[in-house]
Amino acid sequence: MNFENLEQQRGQFEEENEIRAKERNKNRTLGEKLTLKNKATGLEITAEEAVKMDEEAEKLVQHGEASTLSEAIEKLNTKEEFALKGKELIQKEEYARARALKVVEKIEAGEFEKARQLLSRSSAMAVDYDEETQRLIGKYVAPFVRARIIEDIKNKNGDDLVKLLERLSTYSPNVREFIPFIKADDLREIPQDVLKSPEIFAKIQDYLVDSLRNTPNVFDRVLEKYIELGFVTKEEIVTLPKIEETAKSLLMHSPLQQEAYTDSPASQLQKLFRESTFGELKEIFILLGILSEAEIERIRSKI
**DSSP string spanning 134-181?**
HHHHHHHHHHHHHHHHHHHHHTT-HHHHHHHHHHHSEEEEETTEEEES
Rg from Cα positions in the chain: 26
- Dihedral angle of Cα 129, 134, 137, 143, to the nearest 10 degrees: -150
pLDDT for res 216: 93
Low-confidence ranges of the chain (pLDDT < 70): 1-9, 34, 122-129, 170-179, 259-274
Distance CA 169, CA 156 (A): 18
Distance CA 12, CA 5 (A): 11
Residues 99-136 as b or e (16 or more Cβ within 10 Å = b) = bbbbbbebbeeeebebbbebbeebbeebeebeeebbbb
Question: How long, in residues, is the chain?
Answer: 303
- Dihedral angle of Cα 108, 111, 114, 115, to the nearest 10 degrees: 30
